[in-house]
Structure 1
């Protein structure tokens, strides 16, 4: 049986929410005997393990990342990113200030050590909370640099006019929380608790944090000691994860649809389910004719399409790669077909065997793709439109392939180019790229550190496309100016040039089986590059590497300094 369906028949309690969790715990009592769930005395929460766990579950629901916003990618993967990419931010544009959730975490960390629970139960509660606090602080630090470090639950009578801590102090606290979490968390959970944070997730996230801190956003002078620290952390993550059974899933296309403990690649997951807690991302990236109420997200750019190499691993621009411009989809890296849907591609949405996706102008009954492409990645084809709008597909925030690439990058920056080869070739082997006679899967032999750095970033772009990582990579390595500024992203304007441009007549002829698009595509269609940014040139400003603190927070707290580079800014985020 497809594990996607069998696993969803049992929804873990912690994925539903605190009210349902608490009511489930009280199911053995009479309905009329239930207390007001909004008025449970705080003393009861910290003396009842089930209530304490429900309190933690609610923090999970508030804190864990969701599917990336399908219309807000600040990169060259597709359109979107508006104000950020076009240099139109104001001081109030980026507002992420989750101190209410941090207070809840601090309250749990304050109360649980004295609770009448077993040491094992205390450890797992505290370990999870420490990870979630580290998660929230890093989300802020990656946006603003240093922020106020609050480690106890503040009350109204406390001095709330706290100052920003140095970025280095924040990173140190994040790492400390993660190290403490690692010591307390289990290596795995049972199926009923799938999705909870594990020791491996804490190690992997620590590796990501330190990779960012070593990169140019935080480390413009490239202090080598930071890269060494990041390497040590990512090696430790790799060693632990592989020791306890984590491995690349054999099927890149379907790894998103194997959920729970059966997915050996998923490290950190946000659980979704229907009924209970569905997500709409699945609907948002499907064509409107196979969706409802959502569409238009994650439409690949021509730049991303052209970035995928051939099945032999060679870039399409390399002489002798085998690239066929008259049928550009043939013999490509298999991840191309898994990620991108092109005009005339087979796409069995809603379980429709033999369904073909047309993206030419006038080829879709309703709506259409602006870029000329759709994204196949993460889309479960068996969903009907209603199911897509109420999807239960989990979001994988960290998977082993990312950890491998983090490890490769930090190893390369510390002089170990071979680890870069080892990690990329393993990932390319799983993808289905040919090994070649040299076993390098299309990679150039004897690469320098600089060449390997570029190869790793390219591999990240392909392997992690539409997983919310491309903009992070451009940001942490300060690549916007050299990669995107001054450019406009493009797609394809595809036109039917036969049958008088009448789509119905073309479809009728295609149904006879006499049209072979692999050999005669451009006999029927013209493709012209079109601008996805017709009115704007990309202009990512240098001050965007550390955003402004919104005025609302500055007005409430006069001790907060604005970030340098913004009006009145005095806080140095590089300290």
Structure 2
């Protein structure tokens, strides 16, 4: 900690100037900014330029890594013989988040101030730098000469980012010091680590204040007129409320509650606070006060990729996203989740875990293991949830869209049977499935890889509905409770299902708190799987990551009958993740925990 504070304080004059280049498309620097760092704070134009560097500190995890290497949960398994972080976690090695710069978006050798690329962005170093920069801005907020709106916009963004970086650190490493001042190198560091809930309380204060200052829509502000129609990525009241609710929900979840109090259950009071924050956000959506809404299922893919289009993926559902950079893998056969037809030539080394695919229920809304679901294990891919067909490539799916040479025509349809040509048991297709959620089907070596850009949201509206449902259930004890004068948990979950046309939650699940929670767990898997770290963090905060069914990554082996139907279907375990109780948190860097006594290592490391 001391090492970071000394570095950033010593460089503060240089960084105050460099920070103003963080969004040159928005505003120009003052003519004297290169010689006087105080110019960064004298007017809105310059202060906004200073503030916008904070946006560039948010890691773009899909550019930092590739081949779905940002996914740390149970959704995927990679080709054999690789050393990516997902595989290291499977081996029980949580230290690997920092043992190789290229291996994870959680770390990087140092801060990279280049705003034109997503490379070099590591959550751990960027968070400490971002906290310092936010504190530096807040310490100088009184120097800003401008309208009240301009002052509110600057302060709201600074408070949001200070809260956000602390929240992200807590999510992966547990309770840490909360830094709310500009640290001086002359002051002895004795800032203690807080409990998760104590840290969450401090974070909540920042998010609440930010929500009260930020606009619902930048287009409706005088300052936002400078970038009218291009404000999709800017912080809003909705982002602050969304993270206020998420912060409280995490604080009330079993892992954080156990870490703070020893109680491994949900904390109802924190869950109620979470539900209140989410309700405030969702009422703005319901009243049409924001452009944010659930995307139509016919445009569901627009939430994840462009397929050659010129828009930013995520609209109109994204609530918080990192900046858009020119991605190195646009149109590249080694993109994070490309589908390959001809013997899987190229990259695309990630396959969906067959065990995770079982989360996708039936079209009637029931899980496949429910006796009333209609699921037929001998014909397993019929009448499944619509998201199953959107996300997963199954045997005999059409892969090639355009014309193909005669000798390539056989590759038009996937052959994922045990000995099929789409099945590489050491690489892609090794589980009997391919992934199609994040890239178009034309991302193959015959349809020539469209100029596709993938951009995933840190928070989107469907996630909020599902977090709200969980907060109401655990805060008020019932799926039918309307909680903070808003809709019930049942209604919130069903909004997400209704969007894709799946069946509503069955009454027998609604009537039982534990069964309804199991449906929330499954719904979050179907809706948010393969995106960012929703699943990894969910399984950890629920204290479920150690259970065997979430540690096993499997394949399905099968043959085809004369009609092409799957027969002799068997599940085979490929990998069982090694997991101890200590693995619920990542370890802190050894050099950092040796800085001072009040900054100890996480238990077990």
Deviates more, 1:156-165 or 1:406-415: 156-165
**Map of 1:65-214 to 2, 5 A cutoff?**
66-67=61-62, 70-79=68-77, 81-90=86-95, 96-97=124-125, 98-190=127-219, 191-214=229-252
**Distance in 1, Cα, partners of 2:255 & 2:178:** 21
* Partner of residue 415, structure 2: 358
The SS at the match of 1:63 is: coil
* Partner of residue 510, structure 1: none
Q: CA deviation at 1:53?
A: 2.1
* 1:96-142 deviations in Å (ceiling 9; x for gaps): 35312211121122223312232212211221121111111011112
Cα gap change, 1:64/1:51 in structure 2, threshold over 3 Å: closer, same or farther?
farther
**Map of 1:94-493 to 2, 5 A cutoff?**
96-97=124-125, 98-190=127-219, 191-220=229-258, 221=263, 222=265, 223-243=267-287, 244-245=289-290, 246-251=292-297, 253-256=300-303, 257=305, 263-274=315-326, 283-288=335-340, 294-297=347-350, 299-347=351-399, 355-360=412-417, 361=419, 363-364=421-422, 368-381=428-441, 391-413=452-474, 414-418=476-480, 419-434=488-503, 440=504, 442=506, 444=508, 446-467=510-531, 468-484=533-549, 488-493=552-557
* 1:210-238 deviations in Å (ceiling 9; x for gaps): 11111100113244322222222222232
* 1:484-505 deviations in Å (ceiling 9; x for gaps): 47x53101345679xxxxxxxx
On the 8 A contact 2:559/2:568 being kept in 1, the answer is yes
* Partner of residue 573, structure 1: none
**Distance in 1, Cα, partners of 2:164 & 2:189:** 22
* 1:263-317 deviations in Å (ceiling 9; x for gaps): 33221122425479979899121135699964213x2111122221111122223
Q: CA deviation at 1:181?
A: 0.3
On the 8 A contact 1:200/1:241 being kept in 2, the answer is no
**Distance in 2, Cα, partners of 1:397 & 1:116:** 33
Q: CA deviation at 1:521?
A: 2.1
On the 8 A contact 2:171/2:537 being kept in 1, the answer is no
Q: CA deviation at 1:543?
A: 1.8
Q: CA RMSD in A?
A: 3.7
Q: Which of 53, 67, 71 is the matching residue for 2:48? A: 53
Cα gap change, 1:292/1:179 in structure 2, threshold over 3 Å: closer, same or farther?
farther
Cα gap change, 1:53/1:372 in structure 2, threshold over 3 Å: closer, same or farther?
same
* 1:44-63 deviations in Å (ceiling 9; x for gaps): 22225333322222221112
Cα gap change, 1:388/1:559 in structure 2, threshold over 3 Å: closer, same or farther?
farther
* 1:491-537 deviations in Å (ceiling 9; x for gaps): 1345679xxxxxxxxxxxxxxxxx9xxx5323xx765433331xxx3
Q: CA deviation at 1:24?
A: 7.7
The SS at the match of 2:94 is: coil
* Partner of residue 38, structure 2: 43
The SS at the match of 2:489 is: helix
* 1:125-172 deviations in Å (ceiling 9; x for gaps): 221121111111011112232212221222433434533234333211
The SS at the match of 1:218 is: helix
Deviates more, 1:210-219 or 1:280-289: 280-289
On the 8 A contact 2:361/2:368 being kept in 1, the answer is yes
**Distance in 2, Cα, partners of 1:174 & 1:20:** 25
For structure 2, list consecutive stretches of 5 or more residues without a partner in the other structure.
Answer: 1-18, 79-85, 99-105, 108-123, 220-228, 481-487
Asked whether 1:560 is paired with 2:599, we answer yes
Deviates more, 1:343-352 or 1:173-182: 343-352
**Distance in 1, Cα, partners of 2:73 & 2:328:** 33
Q: How many residues matched?
A: 511
On the 8 A contact 2:61/2:70 being kept in 1, the answer is no
**Distance in 1, Cα, partners of 2:579 & 2:170:** 19
Cα gap change, 1:392/1:313 in structure 2, threshold over 3 Å: closer, same or farther?
same
* 1:318-350 deviations in Å (ceiling 9; x for gaps): 335333434422211111001111122123568
On the 8 A contact 1:91/1:566 being kept in 2, the answer is no
* Partner of residue 10, structure 2: none
Cα gap change, 1:381/1:83 in structure 2, threshold over 3 Å: closer, same or farther?
closer
* Partner of residue 15, structure 2: none
Deviates more, 1:549-558 or 1:365-374: 365-374
TM-score, normalised to structure 2, is: 0.75
Asked whether 1:532 is paired with 2:574, we answer yes
Q: CA deviation at 1:364?
A: 4.2
**Distance in 1, Cα, partners of 2:329 & 2:158:** 22
TM-score, normalised to structure 1, is: 0.78
Deviates more, 1:548-557 or 1:355-364: 355-364
The SS at the match of 1:372 is: coil
The SS at the match of 1:165 is: coil
For structure 1, list consecutive stretches of 5 or more residues without a partner in the other structure.
Answer: 1-16, 435-439, 498-514, 568-575
